[in-house]
Structure 1
Amino acid sequence: MRRPLAAGAAVVLTLLTACTTTDAVTAPVPAASGVAVADAQAPDVDPASLPAADTPAVPLRLAEGLAPPTNRWFSGLVFGDTPQPVFPLPVSMGLTASGFAYGLPEVSADGTLVMGGHAPQVQADLREPVTGVVSGYDAATVAVDLVAGDDAVFGTLHLTRGSPVVAYTAGRDHDLDLNQPFAAADGLPDDVAAAQVAGRTHVLVGADGLDVGEVLADGGTSLALAAGDTVSWLVAPDGGEDVLGDLVEAVRDPVVSAEVGYTTAADEVTTSVTYVTAGGGDAVVVRFPHQAGAADDATCDLGTYATVLGTASVCVASTLGWTAPAREPAAAPDLSGLDGGLRDEIADQVGADVEASLAEVRPADTYFGGKALARDANLWLLARELGLDDAAAELHESLVTDLRTWTEPDGCTTRPERCFTFDESLRSVVGQAPSFGSDEGNDHHFHYGYFLYAAGVLAAEDPALGDEVAPVVDLLAADVAAAAAVPVEGGAPLPALRVFDVVMSHSWASGPSPFADGNNQESSSEAVNAWNGLALWADARGDEALAGQARWLLSAEAAAARAYWTDFDTTDPVVEGLEASVTSLVWDGKRERATWFSAEPSAALGILVLPVTGVSTYLGGDQDRVRANLVEALGTDDLWADPAAWDVMFGDQLLSYAALLGPDDAASALEVARDLPDERIDDGSTRSWLLAWLGSQA
């Protein structure tokens, strides 16, 4: 969801998850030489130490003891009055009143939209009403029990992120009616069946020696299953008909769980997902565009699928691994190269901006309040750097006062805002006053990233302040990025990595995901900011494990942001017909150049840039694409012909982005920035920060 908007040695960590009530992460422990690996520990925090949120319990289609899966690709199965379709990808799946339906979405692009909505091509019916209840999940798999009115489990659906396979295990003897006739097919083993659906082969495969041909009855549209039988459906890929038999052999061994690992090094981070099957064999999975930097020996030349994210290659593998360029956390830009005149100019602007900040009361909600704290932490850095000691001291006092207020553990017992509570139903930390649906789980990493950033900047210079605010700041970090599930007395834990989709390498913003197109994320740059803030906080606290984890998240999210939001491959056949250079709102079922708050092209790019910090250089690297994105956002081919072209929503953010074109463009941007109207300076920034950033790039 979004809002209307006024280098050194490698660190090795491993994330192990299973379909249970807990997730585990392996974290680094300092050793005499290098880094040793040990089982991860949940962060030492107690969410129940916060006052209970005054919110009603949320009905959940979830097994008892499981952490409520907000901000997941499958959240729509758990929350809301009715379950929503979900997209394991490349397939989609939706629950029905008496069963389920899956299919391969038809992907097409037109105008500013890439479409790939739910395709209920093969429907399986249990002949009586059932309710889908998520009974287990991990970083890449989900189990959904189909529960009858007598609370008996008819069977369990098994969905695997990044796999074209849907599996089902019978919980008791029953018949499963299909809307498509499956029968023996040439070129396939005799014990499997196939159907032609929408011009593509769908194969039905049994596990543990189950002969699907024998159990099919009534003309091939009814499966007679015994308790414990597992069947799987595989959708054939494009160009994969010749190897379909090989894929079928892998499908016989269904995926039951996933294990995730990552390493961080000076130049790159590596993510790996191991798909654990019942028999220990390989799985049929896909490699998405962001996973092109392979770090494994998987066989991935077995066909392709079109997905809204781009063309995905089919693999048979037990583990998929991929790399992303390593990103180091950073706050202020480097001002050491500024000439004296520009330093004096920025210093004068800093003085004016500090005066303006001190004259205002910072907002009381978690989004704008957090932005204001981060904005003024940056302003404080500039004041210190430029020798404005009095202004820096005064602003620092104001910042610390507000941060202390926000981080009083029992603050919400005495006031309705500028404090945090614990939602016992969602098992989540919720700021008061909430904003943009944060009380439903929306956007927590966006909001809390600003608090983590400000706390990290201040605590780096004042460890005692870090000690003081840590009880609550650590809770904010744990809420969005706990390395392991956090036990909470009296109920389910906080989940590990609440918002981060490991397979897709990016976060999800909606808490309940009440949408037919799956979950979504708009401001990829605020997600990057969250992990930048997490890393700054970890560094300030000397928490090596969290620092390594945060650098992995930062690097992975930055790479995914470019792969799907700002720098996607415009030559991929999937986007043929797309007339947009950025897709600012990414879902599992579609991508679009759109925002929740404005139809302006400048908004679509600006929301992928803010907030600008020292780490924002990740958005550069492809100057041609930066220029194309700006041309689209501004509606002009000559960026500097008319300064008025920048008098648009997020004009300051676009100028900051333009500086990534090189020193000459940064100098031109600096000239425009001096006269940019005040209303075009985002409330999370200042004119002095804009000038300093542009000056550092010129």
Structure 2
Amino acid sequence: MRFIHACQLAFLMGCASLGAASAQPVKAGAGTYFLTPKGSDKPMPSAPMRTEAMLKTAAQTNQWYSTLIFNSTPEAIFAHPLSVKPTAAGFEMALPGKEIVPTVRRDVEVHYPHKNPLLFTPTAFEPGPAKLAKAGDWSIDISMARGVDDWLMTVAHGSPFVSMQVSRGDMRVRLPSDGSRLPVVDPRVLALHVGGQSYALFGPAGVTWESVSTTEWIARLPAGKGYLSAAALPDAQPATLELFARHAYAFITDTRVEWTYDPSRSQVETSFKATTRTLEGPDNGPLLGLYPHQWFQNASVQGRLGPAFDTIRGKIHVLAANSFQKTNTYSSFVPFWPAVGGTPRTAELDDLLKADKRTARRMMLQNGQGPYWQGKGIQRNIKLMDVAEQQGDQEGRDQLLAMVQKRMEEWFSGGNSKGYFHLDKSLGVVAAYPDEFFQVAQINDHHFTYGYWIRTAAEIALRDPAWAAQEQWGAMVDLLVADIATTERSGSAFPFLRNFDPYEGHSWASGIGLGEWGNNQESSSEAINAWVGLILWGEVTGNKALRDLGVYLFTAETEAINFYWFDIHGLVFAPEYKNVEVSMLFGGKYAHNTWWTDEPRQIKGINLLPITTASTYLGVDPGYVKRNLDALGPEVETYRKYGKLPPNPPPRDIWQDVFAKYGALADPTAALASWDRWGSVEVGETRTHALHFLLSLQQMGLPDFSVRADTLLYAVFKQPDGRKTYLAYNAGTTPMDVTFSDGKTLTVAPRTLGRVQ
């Protein structure tokens, strides 16, 4: 599903303009990027811990296992339900258990640490340094080869198994404490109960299990059969062990996710398939582990699920199958909402628009000069432009459009002394300078940052298609798109879906997987903003594959947010965790905090902003919105009573615009009453856009997710009395007829927003 044509990708990579790799600038349409950092700017880190074959591919950054490729001593890798860790002493495998950790914030964090592992080692040679040997869509091979001796482990998301293959000799397993052997009939199987948990090791026919001590066993492997699989068990029931034994010899060789988007039904179909090789016995296929977002309300797997593990993500149920499917409804949006009028506050909106236009240039770079803050600034002004346009201020619209175009062109041109883009072809990564939030040093947050740029570019292109042409600025936008959303697997240009984890259904922010808790993501809402950008950019440029990819990422991530950040179904959070939402999600823990402050309003707001017309997904459960906001007051009181306030504390109403807009997705009238036009405004927002958002929902009502349409960009709203407003945007060049699932129809002119009630 490559969305960049081969010749276009070659153009982006500089193949047509460079005779040899050098520090020379590379032209991309009217823009320029650089093959090395300028001056004293530091390069990105190297990713040496890959096999020779993997070194020929783009580095697999920002994944659940990325710690492996950057570090000779990697951190634990959280595959769920298992955690694993390659060490100098061997290969560790553990089944993490819940720990509740009180915090200085007077709440708790929930940890599932990599702890008390089983340690595996070959007996015939010393393990070598761990390297990534293969990467499927949700599985990896880890090589710990030493010279001509090979030792390979396969680990997969959701799988309770680690499969191992060794070139010669036997395998040793050391236990973290005394273990007792469980009774089994099959002589190939060693089942153990250790520290309150059960494990099973499955050797080949002819294996003998030698007990060295109560904490050490050796698998004596027959010649030519250097393999075994190790599994954690969800319980010690004989039926469970029998189930696992039937599937223990189906070794995963690859994993693949596929998606299709059906605009006529507004549905996304996702399929997951594992390819296996059966080393002995009947081909019973693998045991897959399904996360809550995969099994909950999924009719295709009901009645087929096996026992479950209690994990950091809730219950992971095993499924005896090599594939399964999931169907989700795409909760669409329109790029902007129509004009508001006929209210007592229309004049106030006009006044705010005039004031925001006067300070628009300053608002583009309010908090810093790096690519993240610049991205927020340009999207801030493009959203302001939306309001000016819809309210009939054509002069203001043109002024703001030209201002944002000029700023993006300064960066894209390569001639800006303050900011530029660098492509590291050895890693397959685009970096933007100056470095900010370790986006260069640790390859962090690329989807957050470039999402602002891509979405802004798409909204420019809705008004000025020529600006987005390849020979103009479209090539530079495509470079950023390729960095975060390439669909080619095992390519040398960019990694497959850099930030996105297809199996967990959400993104990861850290490029190098730094820290003992695995990878993490904080601002799930900024990830959504990136996928909105892909949808719009794909639609406006006629790139159907990119559009469909954006729809898939948007749909998957919004679902994952509702499970793992908000837990709206009550299936994930531990009962000891009293916060309404998670703000920081890690492989091995979740917490109610941020990287930069303990202040509760920012902790809550970071998973809401930027709130735009594409944020209606946050209102899928209005009751949850109210519960979330109701918790804010007590959280602030606790913080002010017990927290450590900084010398210059933030305003008491910090980000009040974010919470007013969020609240409007549950109660527009109350939200509008709570908003203060003179109060704090988040730096990615304007007072004008905030008020327009609030007034729009007051007039249209709440999002109605029960109604679908046979087009890409649409939205439906419903008032308490049942009156509905239907919106649809036509990004094409010919009129478009839209049919909604409740029978309403709408004809929309090219490049316009249609509305009917």
TM-score bracket for the superposition, by shorter chain length = 0.7 to 0.9
SS state at 1:575 partner: coil
Higher mean displacement: 236-245 or 308-317? 236-245
Q: CA 1:53/1:356 → structure 2, altered by over 3 Å: closer, same or farther?
A: same
Q: CA 1:202/1:177 → structure 2, altered by over 3 Å: closer, same or farther?
A: closer
2:676 maps to a residue whose letter is: R
Distance 2:224 2:174 in 1: 18
Distance 1:501 1:263 in 2: 17
Aligned ranges for residues 12-411 of structure 1 at < 5 Å?
Answer: 25=1, 46-48=12-14, 49=26, 50-54=33-37, 55=43, 58-63=46-51, 64-80=55-71, 82-109=73-100, 111-126=107-122, 128-148=126-146, 151-179=147-175, 185-206=182-203, 209-212=204-207, 214=208, 216=210, 218=212, 221-225=217-221, 226=223, 229-238=226-235, 241-265=238-262, 266-279=265-278, 281-291=284-294, 292-294=296-298, 296-297=300-301, 300-335=304-339, 338-359=341-362, 362=365, 364-408=369-413, 411=414
SS state at 1:189 partner: coil
Distance 1:531 1:44 in 2: 24
SS state at 2:503 partner: coil
- For 1:668, the equivalent position in structure 2 comes to 670
For the 8 Å contact 1:184–1:192, the answer to whether it is kept is no
Question: How far apart are residue 602 of structure 1 and its match?
Answer: 1.5
2:13 maps to a residue whose letter is: P
- For 2:466, the equivalent position in structure 1 comes to 464
Question: How far apart are residue 298 of structure 1 and its match?
Answer: 7.1
Distance 1:177 1:544 in 2: 51
Figure out how many residues of one structure are paired with residues of the other and give that number.
Answer: 638
Question: How far apart are residue 430 of structure 1 and its match?
Answer: 0.6
Question: How far apart are residue 272 of structure 1 and its match?
Answer: 1.9
Question: How far apart are residue 360 of structure 1 and its match?
Answer: 5.5
Whether 2:456 is the aligned partner of 1:454: answer: yes
SS state at 2:383 partner: helix
Question: How far apart are residue 172 of structure 1 and its match?
Answer: 2.9
Tell me, which stretches of 5 or more residues in structure 1 are unaligned? 1-24, 29-38, 639-644
- For 2:732, the equivalent position in structure 1 comes to none
SS state at 1:61 partner: coil
Q: CA 1:141/1:224 → structure 2, altered by over 3 Å: closer, same or farther?
A: same
Distance 2:588 2:358 in 1: 47
For the 8 Å contact 1:449–1:531, the answer to whether it is kept is yes
Distance 2:511 2:665 in 1: 33
Question: How far apart are residue 202 of structure 1 and its match?
Answer: 0.7
SS state at 1:142 partner: strand
- For 1:426, the equivalent position in structure 2 comes to 427
- For 2:746, the equivalent position in structure 1 comes to none
For the 8 Å contact 2:339–2:387, the answer to whether it is kept is no
Distance 1:299 1:75 in 2: 35
Question: How far apart are residue 600 of structure 1 and its match?
Answer: 1.9
Q: Deviations over 1:104-156 (max 9, x none)?
A: 101244533111011242111346352101111111110011032xx334300
Q: Deviations over 1:179-228 (max 9, x none)?
A: 3788874354232111111222211113xx5344x254646611234566
Q: Deviations over 1:281-323 (max 9, x none)?
A: 4211222111124263476432111111112222211113223
RMSD of equivalent CA atoms: 2.7
- For 2:531, the equivalent position in structure 1 comes to 531
- For 2:721, the equivalent position in structure 1 comes to none
1:476 to 463, 480, 489: 480
SS state at 2:675 partner: helix
- For 2:558, the equivalent position in structure 1 comes to 558
For the 8 Å contact 1:47–1:429, the answer to whether it is kept is no
SS state at 1:131 partner: coil
1:658 maps to a residue whose letter is: G
TM-score by length of 2: 0.79
Distance 1:602 1:442 in 2: 24
Higher mean displacement: 196-205 or 553-562? 196-205
For the 8 Å contact 2:289–2:317, the answer to whether it is kept is yes
Q: CA 1:394/1:637 → structure 2, altered by over 3 Å: closer, same or farther?
A: closer
SS state at 1:474 partner: helix
Q: Taking CA–CA contacts closer than 8 Å with sequence separation of 6 or more, which of the two structures ends up with the larger relative contact order?
A: 1
Distance 1:41 1:287 in 2: 39
For the 8 Å contact 2:524–2:561, the answer to whether it is kept is yes
Question: How far apart are residue 637 of structure 1 and its match?
Answer: 12
Aligned ranges for residues 478-627 of structure 1 at < 5 Å?
Answer: 478-485=482-489, 492-570=492-570, 575-627=574-626
- For 1:16, the equivalent position in structure 2 comes to none
Q: Deviations over 1:52-110 (max 9, x none)?
A: 23216525211221321110000111113521100111010011213111111012445
Q: CA 1:75/1:473 → structure 2, altered by over 3 Å: closer, same or farther?
A: same
Higher mean displacement: 242-251 or 453-462? 242-251
Question: How far apart are residue 449 of structure 1 and its match?
Answer: 0.4
For the 8 Å contact 2:183–2:191, the answer to whether it is kept is no
1:152 maps to a residue whose letter is: V
SS state at 2:316 partner: strand
Higher mean displacement: 133-142 or 388-397? 388-397
For the 8 Å contact 1:45–1:474, the answer to whether it is kept is no
Identity of aligned residues (%): 26
Tell me, which stretches of 5 or more residues in structure 2 are unaligned? 15-25, 27-32, 38-42, 102-106, 638-649, 699-757
For the 8 Å contact 1:42–1:482, the answer to whether it is kept is no
SS state at 1:390 partner: helix
For the 8 Å contact 1:333–1:613, the answer to whether it is kept is no
Q: Deviations over 1:436-472 (max 9, x none)?
A: 0110210000000000110010101111001121111
Q: CA 1:486/1:375 → structure 2, altered by over 3 Å: closer, same or farther?
A: farther
Distance 2:651 2:270 in 1: 39
Higher mean displacement: 253-262 or 120-129? 120-129
Distance 1:190 1:174 in 2: 16
